[in-house]
């Protein structure tokens, strides 16, 4: 079964149980109704601090690292946005589409 989102969120023990996507669809729930359930569950968590779900030690790259190495890491670790850090300071981010464009344009 596929879950619409992961509950409980890291550090949030009060999160309600996640309805399974397949169960919602089997019961005749439309995609629109499933989305409303997702939004309602998200609103219940809206007052929790970002610190409860952030990635404290993300994979990072330097601005001098090779594009192929970044692309390989993003694919293997299923990373969508890669922080670029030089001398301990965030200098930017690279997305999958940024990499695809750079590799396609040579």
CA distances from 56 to 53, 83, 95, 97, 98 (A): 9, 12, 19, 24, 24
pLDDT of residue 36: 83
pLDDT in the model for residue 18: 57
Q: Is the pTM of this model over 0.75?
A: no
Contacts with 2 (C-beta within 8 Å, 6 or more apart), sequence order: 20, 21, 22
pLDDT of residue 24: 65
The per-residue pLDDT string of the chain (106 residues; one tens digit each, 9 = 90 and over) reads 334 444 444 444 444 455 566 666 677 777 787 778 778 877 877 788 888 778 888 899 999 999 889 999 999 998 999 999 999 999 999 999 998 898 888 7
The reported pLDDT for the residue numbered 42 is: 76
At residue 19, the pLDDT reads 59
Q: How far apart are CA 50 and CA 47, in angstroms?
A: 9
The CA distance from 47 to 44, in Å, is: 8
């Amino acid at each position: 079964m596929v879950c619409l989102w992961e509950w409980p969120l890291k550090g949030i023990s009060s999160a309600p149980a996640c309805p399974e996507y397949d169960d919602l669809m089997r019961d005749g729930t439309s995609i629109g109704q499933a989305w409303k359930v997702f939004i309602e569950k998200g609103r219940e968590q809206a007052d929790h601090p970002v610190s409860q779900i952030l990635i404290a030690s993300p994979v990072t790259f330097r601005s001098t690292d090779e594009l192929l190495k970044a692309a390989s890491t993003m694919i293997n670790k299923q990373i969508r946005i890669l922080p670029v850090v030089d001398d301990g300071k965030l200098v930017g981010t690279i997305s999958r589409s940024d990499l695809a464009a750079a590799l396609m344009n040579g």
